[in-house]
Amino acid sequence: MTAHDKGHDSMRNAADQQSSPDIVLHPLSQAFQEATRAIRAMPEPRDAYDSATRLAHEVRSKADLAAQVRAEAAARIHEAEKLSIAGLAERLGISKARAAQLLKAARKAKDGNATK
């Protein structure tokens, strides 16, 4: 490997690290903690309740999207590795029923995106 190749590899590794979801998970967690602290510090209970309701709605919608992305990733593994449902379940360390649910969710998301 030449010095030129090594330079490209290190640049690619740096780019991969910068685009990693792990980089944004920590600030996301910090933002959630700050939001809950701010809500708990609110002097008016009704305002705190309303803010907590908005926070719960936001977190729930993000969790739903994360579950969809996870299902899509499972489907990508299933297709790329040409696995049976049992093979996918073993590969992911989940039950066959859960693997089937993930694939069904991925198909549903794909069908929903195709019609939009």
pLDDT recorded at residue 4: 45
pTM above 0.95, yes or no: no
- In the prediction, which pLDDT does 64 show? 95
Q: What is the pLDDT of residue 18?
A: 56
**42 token code pair:** 């609110």
Task: Evaluate if residue 56 carries a pLDDT over 50.
Answer: yes
For the chain, what is the mean pLDDT?
A: 87
Contact 72, 106 (CB under 8 A): yes
Q: Look at the alpha carbons of 103, 105, 110, 111 in this order and tell me if their dihedral is positive or negative.
A: positive
